[in-house]
Structure 1
Amino acid sequence: MNGITAIYNWHKHGIRFSDAVAVFEDEMALSREDIDAREEQRFVATRRDYLGRILTVVYTYRYETIRLISARRATRQEKKAYEQQ
């Protein structure tokens, strides 16, 4: 995990990457490929973290590792889609 990216994300969105990794354990995952990503294949996931917050996380795979790109609180529309699935 890139420390600079994690610090930037904390300051911009108030979400720590250490909290955001919990979303990968939520069985109610709502994931899709980010078709707007140009440089690499990216995915967007909306899920709950350990604190019960609904987060939207952007990530990619590097070799066999998940690399977090950003994590933020889900928008109203993302929350609604997550809760209605």
Structure 2
Amino acid sequence: MDVLFLYRDQTFIWDGLKAVENRAKHGIRFETACEAFFDDYSMYVDATVDDERRTAVIGLSKSKKLLYVVHVERDEDQVRIVSARLATKQETKAYEDG
């Protein structure tokens, strides 16, 4: 079942079961992942898998965790979160290098 979540006037959507699985695997809640989109220094990278165009945002949460959030933009008003995890060392360096 899909979950709709409004954060700072942006609508996010995700699969509820996927969110539970993601938290168990990576320790990151999708509600927290939404915060990365509003980091002033966030960066976007290609995260395409097979034929599905995906993007990842690398950005800080309010608690200063650097997150890597894979998502699909359904339209200007809705972002579908696919997965969220802590950024790797390589992703952290890319973020720091700006």
Going by fraction, where is strand more abundant, 1 or 2?
A: 2
TM exceeding 0.5: yes
Shift of 1:2: 1.2
- The separation in 2 between residues aligned to 1:77 and 1:34, in whole angstroms, is 15
Q: 1:12 aligns with which of 25, 32, 38?
A: 25
1:55 aligns with 2:85: no
Which residues in structure 2 correspond to 1:23-34 (within 5 Å)? Answer: 23-34=36-47
Larger mean CA deviation between 49-58 and 39-48 belongs to 39-48
- The separation in 1 between residues aligned to 2:18 and 2:62, in whole angstroms, is 21
Q: Give the corresponding residue for 2:53.
A: 41
- Runs (4 or more) in structure 1 with deviation over 6 Å come to none
Count residues in correspondence: 84
Q: Which runs of 5+ in 2 are unaligned?
A: 1-13
Q: Percent identity?
A: 36
Give per-residue Cα distances to partners, 1:39-65, cap 9 Å, x unaligned. 421001111011100010100012441
* TM-score with structure 2 setting the length: 0.79
Aligned-pair RMSD on alpha carbons? 1.2
- Secondary structure of the 1:60 match is strand
Give per-residue Cα distances to partners, 1:6-28, cap 9 Å, x unaligned. 00000000000011100110111
* TM-score with structure 1 setting the length: 0.90
